[in-house]
Structure 1
Amino acid sequence: MSSRPELLFPLFADLSTLTGVGSKTAKSFSGLQVFRPRDLIFTLPQSLIDRSLVATVYGQPTGKIVTVSALVLAHRPGARKSAPYRVDMEDSRGVFQLIFFHARADYLAKVLPVGSTRLISGKVESFDQLIQIAHPDYILDVEDSASIPAIEPVYPLTAGITQKTVAKALGSALAKLPELEEWIDPAQKARSGWPSWRHAVQMAHQPRTMADLMAAAPARQRLAYDEFMAHQLTLGLARARLKKAAGRPSMGTGLLRRAVLASLPYQATVAQLRSIDEIAADMGAASRMNRLLQGDVGSGKTLVAFLALLIAVESKGQGVLMAPTEILARQHLEGLQPLAEAAGVSLTLLTGRDKGKDRLAKLQALQTGQTDILIGTHAVFQTDVAF
């Protein structure tokens, strides 16, 4: 049985529950990694189109999308089937043309009757010194001007999905947004000026300016914080479950570590000593260790890792150090060999290059306990490698 709260069920329902989304469109949405309404509401706009009404197409930059009120003057069907269908229009300043390819004359005569005034919204282009709009995005009666958004968000697309398809489906998805109980500290939320989760999603899909698309916009900041917080909580729960799992305590004597530290031509740093003490405490505990050692290049992480491996050897076990590349694995072997000699432990290198008798000899030494610490690449995880 799902532990998901019931009020979230609509967001995890089939995509076909959204307006205008059938099985074919739902399949096309998968190209955007959108499989549920939840995926769609988190697919945020990446730009916007200003469709505010202008007086004329004249003087507008080529490629700009404009919305203009214009009078239908005449229809000019193409002389050939492959020729474009043209409609002469006139705005407050002059004449321009609408261009249609593979047009249906009866449909265009219906939506653009000669003598009528229509709102046209589309991209301004120029051909042979004549201003044109090819296949307008909107052709509407003046009375229906509210149907054209003044500011229209632009979403990523894929084959079979248009901006209108996304907008229609999103309108349906946003209507399903529940009012969730707030989980952000009220003082932090007020200090940051963040809206509620539901309002933040709505605002993110209704940008008014380019600033609303920036990461610093309050709505997007809020949603980003939610994502990070959810991620940290998930990791916290995973760590809590891991701590409940029984581990195998490794109690070192400290003898080998002291020998290595004494052989160094320098003093280990306070941070290195503190780190190894914390790792030793983790390894000696009854629960499994879950630790990340982080430090700048040259800060001495490899020494700390080697000392941790010596704890395993001190407790009658073995250790393995894996490197991402063979070059790095060989560098570790060369750098750690003098320290291993000081401690009296044996190191062995195992990589994908080892074949035949050489590989077999190394595996036997490892399995019989003759090798204390193994250094290698991903080859150390092969099924025939036994400690």
Structure 2
Amino acid sequence: MNHPVSTIAPILEAPLQTLPGIGPKLAGLLEQAVGGKRVLDLLLHLPERFAERVRIEKPEEAPADRDSVFPVLAESHRAVRSAKGARYVEVRALSGDARVVLRFMNATLPWIEGKLPRAEPRFICGRVRPEGDGFSVMNPEVARDAAQLPEREAIWPLVAGLHRGHVARGLAAALAVLPDCPEWADPPLVARETWPPFAAALRSAQAEATPAPRARLAYDEQLAGQIALALVRRRERQKPGRALLGNGEKRTAALAAFGHTPTPSQTAALAEIDADLAAPHRMLRLLQGDVGSGKTLVALLAMLRAVEAGTQAALMVPTELLARQHLRTLERLCRPAGVRVALLSGSLKAAERRQVLAGLADGAIAIAIGTHALFQQGVVFRDLGLAVVDEQHRFGVEQRLTLASKGEATDLLVMTATPIPRTLLLTHWGEMAVSRITGKPAGRQPITTTKHSLEKLDEVIEAIGRALGRGEQIYWVCPHVEVSLQKPYSRGADAAKLAAAELRFTVLKEKFGKSVTLAHGQMDVETREKALSAFSSGTARILVATTVIEVGVDVPTATVMIIENAEEFGLAQLHQLRGRVGRGPQQSYCLLLYAPSNRQMMVKRFNLLRSTEDGFVIADEDFRLRGPGEALGTRQSGHEMARLPLDDAAAQDRLVAIAHADAEALLTRDPALSTPRGQAARLLLRLFGKDAAMATLGAG
């Protein structure tokens, strides 16, 4: 049906409850399942698969790899609990001469008795398995008539209380009001890919498993995101900035204290940053560098350029632990340059905090390091020229762009040690220019990575004793702080659930005494800092920790990293942890300990980690295996990939790249989005929740 553009959005944005037959209760369940309250959200709730069923007369005819539909007569019902305590209802039934056991997990006895009354004919659908002298079916569908169980049927993701029929009813109503939309994608691209129009793609994707409709919808969502990012990018680049120039004196003094020449890659990244600082517009730059590549030095030299230009700089990090680590490093290098550095964090005593705030306000403190506290109300800088944000995957685009609001035309540099795949660069960091530091500083040795079953734990501990005898220092990382109180510790298959820093510390301390210390995120800052200082100084030789040491802990004399229950960590995180060693000239080692039951999973991860120390290669593979949110350690708003991912990750990457180029081309030709395609693009932005970006157009 044809509608004017102005009337399309209200139809698709209407609440689900406005659809015929959708009352408040059903609307609430649908909203939970589809993740939104609009008619469009329901239309975009695509089937996760299409059930292919075969009709048979008796269970012995059932194929092993397909659901079967056949008649049954229930004989008895009983409520049961499994050995693990799970509730289910078991129904003993007949199908012809064959006995069939039906099991319904998490069901109630009265409900099943109503669906399958004793001695009344019913049809069931499910995967049939031989059991004893008969057969069994787990969680079968039940119907009065075989026609209610068609041979092919869409299966949608559901929530408790919502049934397939509810979704089908809602979608039928939504599809009945679905209007045709103007074409917002590039017409030659649509023709080349043989994509249907948007509305036709929605209808097809709900009815069939062919790839073209899903690819079209996935592209539309990516295009909306890329147009929005391009608009934000243009807005920020149009904002006036100021040139920050320096004479290099403070940099020279800091580099002399550092004692090493920057690598060619560090020099190249710094040149790109310097060019932005010198330009009369705001810098928005992402600095990527693998573990140990030397990002902190580049950031410090950038901040010293801002100080040389007569302004201040701020370095914001996610944890106080990391802030204090940076403070030690920066103080050592800035003191010879005559630059005052201070920490601002939540743990400062009132008198210390007042002194730091006064120093920031009058300019006596040139560089501030801290957590979110740096940007709280009441923190005033005399003149903040550069804000640096370290390891902040959790910030969305708009949050990053407001971090520098403490200064006038403040430049912004964001750093990450987690290599970001190209697809994520385009989808989540697309408003920023990107610099990349590759390689490691001279003199660092490759890290030898090995894997060991937890059944060999005693042998690993003995090897640790030998390493201590050679004067080495060791990290021992566990996935949890405390052991479960419900079960004793196990070295077998349950170890993955139970490995804990507190317990490992106790075991190692019994064997190695005062040379063992402990650090984790649940400690108070002072206690944790004391433990880290003891390890850094060499007083402690073994540091047992959680992933609190994943970033920012720099102990060049540490040569062994042990990661217990390594199967609980993603590839990128294992690579990050491994990067805590290999920071000095000595040969370093990373031992991956895994539960025997997870051997197969670990072999694949181990082979990749052993084959490369290139974090960008590892990040790409982690992205493929675990998805973007988990690969970055986040699952939150602003960092989800499209709700319409393709099964083929390479195809998804390709669509993102095409959408990026298409968005740039569209806004180059039509920066105000005023042409017919531009007006359609405005509708696209609105439908996919990117309409805030249209504020940059001055209307919308």
TM-score for the superposition, normalised by structure 1: 0.74
Partner of 1:377: 371
Partner of 1:276: 270
The residue type equivalent to 2:153 in the other structure is E
The residue type equivalent to 1:138 in the other structure is A
Task: Please show how residues 52-63 of structure 1 align to structure 2 within 5 Å.
Answer: 52-60=54-62
**Residue of 299, 306, 311 corresponding to 2:305:** 311
Report the more deviating stretch, 166-175 or 184-193. 184-193
Cα gap change, 1:103 to 1:86, in 2 (>3 Å): farther
Counterpart Cα distance in 2 of 1:265 and 1:296:
21
**Residue of 342, 345, 352 corresponding to 1:348:** 342
Secondary structure of residue in 2 paired with 1:51: strand
Report the more deviating stretch, 33-42 or 197-206. 197-206
Counterpart Cα distance in 1 of 2:163 and 2:337:
68
Counterpart Cα distance in 1 of 2:15 and 2:251:
59
Deviation by residue 1:1-42 (Cα, 9 ceiling, x = unmatched): xx9742333221121233431222112223222311111122
Counterpart Cα distance in 1 of 2:187 and 2:131:
58
Say whether residues 1:335 and 2:292 are aligned partners: no
* 8 Å contact kept, 1:180–1:197: yes
Partner of 2:44: 42
Cα gap change, 1:260 to 1:50, in 2 (>3 Å): same
Report the more deviating stretch, 179-188 or 30-39. 179-188
| Cα drift, residue 188 of structure 1 | 5.0
Give the gaps of 5 or more residues in structure 2: 78-89, 103-110, 382-700
Counterpart Cα distance in 2 of 1:187 and 1:34:
32
Task: Please show how residues 1-387 of structure 1 align to structure 2 within 5 Å.
Answer: 5-32=6-33, 33-60=35-62, 65-68=67-70, 101-102=113-114, 120-123=123-126, 137-140=142-145, 145=147, 148-185=149-186, 188-189=189-190, 194-207=195-208, 217-261=211-255, 264-387=258-381
Cα gap change, 1:171 to 1:125, in 2 (>3 Å): farther
Secondary structure of residue in 2 paired with 1:294: strand
Give the gaps of 5 or more residues in structure 1: 79-83, 113-117
Deviation by residue 1:284-310 (Cα, 9 ceiling, x = unmatched): 444332221122122222122112212
The residue type equivalent to 2:304 in the other structure is L
Pairwise CA RMSD? 4.1
Report the more deviating stretch, 6-15 or 313-322. 6-15
* 8 Å contact kept, 1:366–1:386: yes
Secondary structure of residue in 2 paired with 1:293: strand
Deviation by residue 1:169-203 (Cα, 9 ceiling, x = unmatched): 11222344444444445565566565443343333
Counterpart Cα distance in 2 of 1:241 and 1:75:
68
Counterpart Cα distance in 1 of 2:327 and 2:74:
82
Counterpart Cα distance in 1 of 2:141 and 2:223:
44
Counterpart Cα distance in 2 of 1:4 and 1:276:
48
Deviation by residue 1:138-164 (Cα, 9 ceiling, x = unmatched): 333x8xx4x643221222222432110
Counterpart Cα distance in 2 of 1:35 and 1:263:
59
| Cα drift, residue 119 of structure 1 | 8.7
| Cα drift, residue 77 of structure 1 | 11
Cα gap change, 1:94 to 1:257, in 2 (>3 Å): closer
Identity among equivalent positions (%) equals: 37
| Cα drift, residue 271 of structure 1 | 3.5
TM-score for the superposition, normalised by structure 2: 0.44
The residue type equivalent to 1:352 in the other structure is G
Cα gap change, 1:174 to 1:137, in 2 (>3 Å): farther
| Cα drift, residue 104 of structure 1 | 11
Cα gap change, 1:100 to 1:228, in 2 (>3 Å): closer
Cα gap change, 1:75 to 1:311, in 2 (>3 Å): closer
Counterpart Cα distance in 2 of 1:385 and 1:125:
67
How many residue pairs match? The answer is 356
Cα gap change, 1:137 to 1:250, in 2 (>3 Å): same
* 8 Å contact kept, 1:89–1:97: no
Partner of 2:387: none
Secondary structure of residue in 2 paired with 1:383: coil
